[in-house]
Amino acid sequence: MNAFESYLLSEYKLPSNVCCNKFTYTHSTKQKIDKDSNRPIINNIITVKIESYDDKHNLISSHTEKFIDGHIYRAKQNKLINISPNELNNKFGFAKSHIIGVIVADLNNKLHEIQNKIDEINTYHHVSAVIPNEFINEPLIGEKTEIKNINKHFEF
């Protein structure tokens, strides 16, 4: 995976004040119909987003690459200057299982966050808003206070 990331970074001329690079991987699918056979074709797209930061955590540059079914996007192949598209596809193929593991771990974290939010809203839904459950059916005794008759007169 490090070989893939470093090879992909060699395409871009980054400034000398770059402190760190952040790689973000996402997965999506796109379905289209084959013209010859009229069968649906599902393309798996892995998007690699590279963000470069300086030592003060300011974003310096951001680049995005798309790999459709394990190959770099066709329009981007001709735009690569410093690296070979075939070599990039090979390095992506070697790192593919690790990249998928990173995507799955990220999605599992999001799943746990959403499940926790659902659990919190369900517990809120089952709690009485006025009197908590542990105080239901207990008499409420307050202090006795005298009520004075106060006559208020309003003049119009």
CB 47 within 8 A of CB 64: yes
Inside any domain, residue 156: no
Inside any domain, residue 57: yes
Inside any domain, residue 141: no
Inside any domain, residue 89: yes
Crossing angle of helices 2-9 and 85-125, in 10° steps, is: 110
Instruction: Give the pLDDT confidence of 86-133 residue by residue, as tens digits.
Output: 999 999 999 999 999 999 999 999 999 999 999 999 887 776 556 666
Query: Which residues span the domain enclosing 31?
Result: 2-125
pTM: 0.74
Domain count along the chain: 1
Inside any domain, residue 136: no
Q: Which of 13-17, 67-71, 137-141, 143-147 has the highest mean pLDDT?
A: 67-71
Inside any domain, residue 46: yes
Instruction: Give the pLDDT confidence of 9-30 residue by residue, as tens digits.
Output: 999 888 888 999 999 999 999 9
